[in-house]
Amino acid sequence: MNRRGVITSGVAAAAALGGAARAQTLGAPAAGGAKAGSSPFAETLAEMTWQEADAAAKAGASVLWTFGVIEQHGPHLPLGTDVYIPSAALRRTRALLAERGHGAVILPAFYWGVNQVSGAFPGSVEVQPATMVALMTDVLSSLKKQGFARVFCTSGHGDALHNKTIFDGVMAGRQASGVDAAILFNTPLVKRLGLDQANPAVLGFDVQEAPAKFIDVHAGDPETSAMLHEHPELVRKDLLPGLRSTDYGPADLAEWRKGQDAARAKTPLGYFGDPASADAARGAARLEAQAKAMADVILARVAAK
């Protein structure tokens, strides 16, 4: 695949249109050594020309689309954390797919998501589910019209209604256009939402995690570790040593998930977990494990078709 997202088998078509000079390796460091990805458009369909997009569709590329949200992530992480992390996971997933002979295109992340839990914090944006479903339906229909047959939708945000809305949008898009769209969620989330795993629009993947003494679900160790790996320049590292672990259990999680003022009262600084224990290497390992699990599921789905 090239730097703009044209799949390997479509490079010849792009080259005929003057694209040969752009056939670089995806994920290579940008000029000056900075890591690509701070832009929401980095390495996505938005950076491709229409000819390159057409070549990708005709070569059978899958589309990868993540759904995050702009919301608070404690005093140490940026509001776009739920966009940065899954976008990084998709870039790595695409690279793994390419290594195994399957091309994919990344759609710019959807970041105006549903936000019930952190909605009471400044900077957290809330969107109505119906708005999200309508937009998803239009985008999925557009992709199908342009020749993309498969779309895999992932999530970087744990809000239950947000993820249920992604499923509803996928189902609406499938009905409207016939596109083979599916959610690609970790299995615990699929079970939490009560979704039928026999539904062709539901794909689960498994990533093994070491058992933790306390629950860590928001702006804690996992997310902070991933951001330290992907975008250390956006982490307020000077604040980390002073952020004590919340040490919360299931009852605390249930209270926090009531959202809005209840969530702000439970986590006045906005994090639920242990951000001070974060480690960039562990963040890299988690992202790699997730990307590999998603690539495996995607390839199995492609092979089954």
Please report the domains of the chain, with CATH numbers, ordered by start residue: 60-304 (3.40.50.10310)
- Give the pLDDT confidence score for residue 36 in this predicted structure: 52
pLDDT score for 129: 97
Q: Give the angle subtended at the CA of 163 by the CAs of 161 and 167, to the nearest 5°.
A: 110
pLDDT band at 8 (very low <50, low <70, confident <90, very high): very low
Structure tokens at 248: 């919360």
Q: What is the percent of the chain where pLDDT is above 70?
A: 88
Would you call 114 exposed, middle or buried from its count of C-beta atoms within 10 A (0-12, 13-18, 19+)?
Answer: buried
Q: What is the pLDDT of residue 209?
A: 80
Mark 175-204 as b/e (b = at least 16 C-beta within 10 Å): eebebbbbbbbbeebbeebebeeeeebbbb
Q: Is the pLDDT of residue 3 over 80?
A: no
* pLDDT per position as a tens digit, 198-245: 999 999 999 988 788 899 999 999 999 999 999 999 999 999 999 999
Q: Is the pLDDT of residue 152 over 60?
A: yes
Neighbours of 128 (CB within 10 A): 10
Q: Radius of gyration of the chain from Cα atoms?
A: 19
Give pLDDT tens digits for 210-219: 788 899 999 9
Q: How confident is the model at residue 2 (pLDDT cuts 50, 70, 90)?
A: very low
Give the model's pLDDT for residue 14: 35
In this prediction, residue 35 carries a pLDDT of 53
Cβ atoms 10, 61 nearer than 8 A: yes
Summarised one tens digit per residue, pLDDT across range 22-73 is 322 233 333 333 455 578 899 999 999 999 999 999 999 999 999 999 999 9
Element (H, E) at 204: strand 202-205
Question: Using CA atoms, how far apart are residues 23 and 225, in angstroms rounded to an integer?
Answer: 32
Whether 127 contacts 73, CB under 8 Å:
no
